[in-house]
Amino acid sequence: MATPRSVFDAAELRAHFNDAGINPQFLPSIWKYVLQNPGCELDDIPDLPSAAYPLLRSKFKALTSTVHSVFHSTDGVTTKLLIRLQNGALVEAVIMTYDTRLGKYGGKPRPGGPRSTLCISSQVGCKMGCKFCATGTMGFKSNLTSGEIVEQLVHASRLSNIRNVVFMGMGEPLNNYTALVEAVRVMTGSPFQLSTKKITVSTVGIIHAINKLHSDLPGLNLAVSLHAPVQDIRCQIMPSARAFPLEKLMTALQLYQKNSQQKIFIEYIMLDGVNDEEQHAHQLGKLLETFQVVVNLIPFNPIGSFSQFRTSSEQKVSEFQKILRGTYNIRTTVRKQMGQDISGACGQLVVNQPDKRSHVNTSLLPDIEDLHI
Q: Would you please indicate which residues are annotated as catalytic (active-site) residues?
A: 92, 346
- Give the C-alpha separation, 32 to 25, whole Å: 13
Identity (one letter) of the amino acid at 280?
H
| SS3 at position 355 | coil
- Give the C-alpha separation, 62 to 7, whole Å: 6
- Helix crossing, 52-59 with 10-19: angle to 10°? 140
- Give the C-alpha separation, 225 to 266, whole Å: 6
Whether the CA torsion 136, 142, 145, 147 is positive or negative: it is: negative
Strands of the chain, DSSP E? 5-6, 60-61, 66-72, 78-84, 90-99, 104-105, 108-109, 114-119, 123-125, 140-143, 162-167, 199-203, 221-225, 264-270, 293-299, 331-334
Cα distances (angstroms) measured from residue 373 to each of 39, 121, 179, 232: 40, 25, 27, 31
- Give the C-alpha separation, 239 to 93, whole Å: 25
Q: What is the helix, strand, coil percentage profile of the chain, to 5? A: 40, 20, 40
